[in-house]
Amino acid sequence: MTGLELRELRKTYRSRGRPAVDAVRGIDLNLGSGELLGLLGPSGCGKSTTLRMIAGLEPVTGGDILVGGASVVERPAQQRNIGVAFENYALYPPLSVAENLAFGLMARGRKARGDVDRKVTEIAERVGLTDLLDARPAGLSSGQKQRVSLARALIREPDVLLLDEPLSHLDAAQRDTTRRELKRIQQDLGHTTILVTHDQEEALSLADRIAVMKDGVIQQLGTPYEIYDSPANVFVADFVGEPAITLLPGIADRDGHARLSDAVRIALPVPVDAGREVVVGIRPEDVRLTAEDGLPARVVAHEPLLESGIATLALDGVERHLVVLTDPEVRLSHDERVRVAADLQHTHVFDAETGDRLR
């Protein structure tokens, strides 16, 4: 198994008559051997461009890419031994599944036909394609096509495996099943892997670590728990979490509270200078309805789901609504008055000007 390192990796697009666009702005990453890193961010943040530079499909503007400690930035794609499973599958329609899997090995001409057939059989068994080897791509479901794409990337025994939005075209049921299969296969084979995705659930459930990107810059790098429980800034806090975190602007006072309105003050978990403008972040699962003293609120809406409920509350005098997860047996009526209490240990505080977390 082989590690991957990115050093100050940059990509700038230039075209005549237009300003330059910095798609990737100096990324530093170091993946241990066998690690699965989730590269998470919204569309246009530079994550797919990063993947394409690693694969050799996009020229690098600056920086270096090292696989197993050796630079590959000057090597063409075919000499990097990097496997890529594309978002659109990129299968050859006239070829059977077996022929699609064998194509790359045969094209490189490094293995005898018997060895290729053996490897096709082995990878088909691992990925669950044995019964589909004679089928053509047109007759496959989206989930089956994705498994063929993954198997074709794996069959070359790559030093690094790159997965570009691998589950984006699958429905919810297929996505859950394929996600579990993907995790099992990656753990069994131990490939150093980068998963590019905009889906936080994919990243949180699959990755050993997550790099959250915005505007070509990594905003935070950490384990799924670190990203979720200790977001580095407002962007990370807002991007990761479903239902989304509630972000409430306020002003710190001298008593260790943030004043959200004339009627609402909330305790802060860290000392903040009085008068400083802050943003208080509270995740829906970290708020509870209470019959005791709490923040006064009015029910705007309540969605009673099977496993829990989602309540949208208006705090007195506060413009932004507070989202709360409720127990499944709770029923709330529109305009009902309630009180809520936030878990102080899981309340997040950010500087209003910079967006950075206050620690």
Read off the tokens for 352: 């209003």
List for the chain the helix, strand, coil content (%; round to 5). 30, 35, 35
pLDDT, position 258: 97
Read off the tokens for 199: 């889906």
Contact criterion met (CB below 8 Å) for 126 and 185? yes
b/e code 127-142 from CB counts within 10 Å (16+ = b): bebeebbeebbeebeb
pLDDT, position 185: 84
pLDDT, position 183: 85
Read off the tokens for 49: 């461009």
What's the rounded Cα separation, in Å, for the pair 152 and 253?
60
Mind listing the pLDDT tens digit of every residue in the chain (359 residues)? 689 999 999 999 998 888 999 999 999 999 999 999 999 999 999 999 999 999 999 999 999 999 999 999 999 998 999 999 887 888 999 999 999 999 888 877 656 788 889 999 999 988 889 999 999 999 998 888 888 988 898 898 899 999 998 877 777 777 787 788 888 888 888 899 999 999 998 999 999 999 999 999 999 999 999 999 999 999 999 999 999 999 999 999 999 999 999 989 999 999 999 999 999 999 999 999 987 788 999 999 999 988 899 999 999 999 999 999 999 999 999 999 999 999 999 999 999 999 999 98
Contact criterion met (CB below 8 Å) for 279 and 308? no
Contact criterion met (CB below 8 Å) for 220 and 234? no
pTM given for the model: 0.90
Q: Sheet harboring 347-351: ordered strands across?
A: 265-267, 257-259, 246-252, 277-282, 347-351
- Residue 337: Cβ within 10 Å count: 10
Question: In order of start, what are the domains of the chain with their CATH numbers?
Answer: 4-238 (3.40.50.300), 244-351 (2.40.50.140)
Read off the tokens for 208: 């050993």
